[in-house]
Amino acid sequence: MKKYLPLLLLTLSIAACHQKTASNTSIDSTARPKAQPADIATDTFQMGNKNFLVYDMDPAESPFTEEPAIESDSAELTLLRHDKNGHVKRLGDSLIITLENGRHIVLASNAHPKHDDSYTEYTYTGYLPDIKQYGIFGTYYESTDFLLVDQTTGVTTHTWGAPIISPDKKYFLCPSYDLEAGFTANGFQLYSYVNGTITPVGEIELDNWGPGQVKWIDNNTFVAEHISLDSTMNKVIKPVKIVMQ
């Protein structure tokens, strides 16, 4: 037996070394870098020939801090005072806009109508140089809208809300929120602006949520307040990133 003992020990030693080497070259699965999940759109919608992908955002990344100021008579008065060229003036209940060719556009309010459904009031919100339009907020008996008056032609475009213009000035969005009353549209309109001409691209009325504040972050992406209602009709607001394709 003794003469076979060295051979047995040598065999056991070689086997142990082989096992140790194999264990050292094995891959530790816990050390592998974990794959990061790709962003997954939580919603989609379409306006005209453009598709939009909606992604949830971390609330801490929201660019919005507070609700924008509501247009008021005092804000209009400040704007008119700073209009050095006198292109927009108020005469009583009427706004008078002087175009580049000298022609006048008159928007007459009807703030004291005989019938409630004929109530109309126009408030100047400022000049938009990126699209060369005068902005006017329209208030009616049970609805509102926004008017864009072209400084050259006087063509007036009625939109759901004030335009949010893309950085390259080729598009603008008109968001509108109304989940509760249903007097105005709830969703988005998209317009193109090419060679001084405004062209509707498309619109979408949303059922389960509506847009609050909106801000473009590049030519194809914007961030919006996603406003929904809980079971007690309280607003639930979160930021979403929306990519136009």
Convert the pLDDT of each residue in 156-184 to its tens digit: 999 999 999 999 999 999 999 999 988 99
How many structural domains comprise the chain? 1
pLDDT of residue 117: 87
60 domain residue, yes or no: yes
pLDDT of residue 28: 45
pLDDT of residue 70: 59
- Does pTM surpass 0.75? yes
Residue 50 has pLDDT above 90, yes or no: yes
52 domain residue, yes or no: yes
pLDDT of residue 231: 92
The boundaries of the domain holding residue 64 are 39-244
Convert the pLDDT of each residue in 185-222 to its tens digit: 999 999 999 999 999 999 999 999 999 999 999 999 99
Q: Average pLDDT in the 99-125 region?
A: 93
Percent of the chain with pLDDT over 70: 82
198 domain residue, yes or no: yes
Distance of alpha carbon 224 from alpha carbon 227, whole angstroms = 9
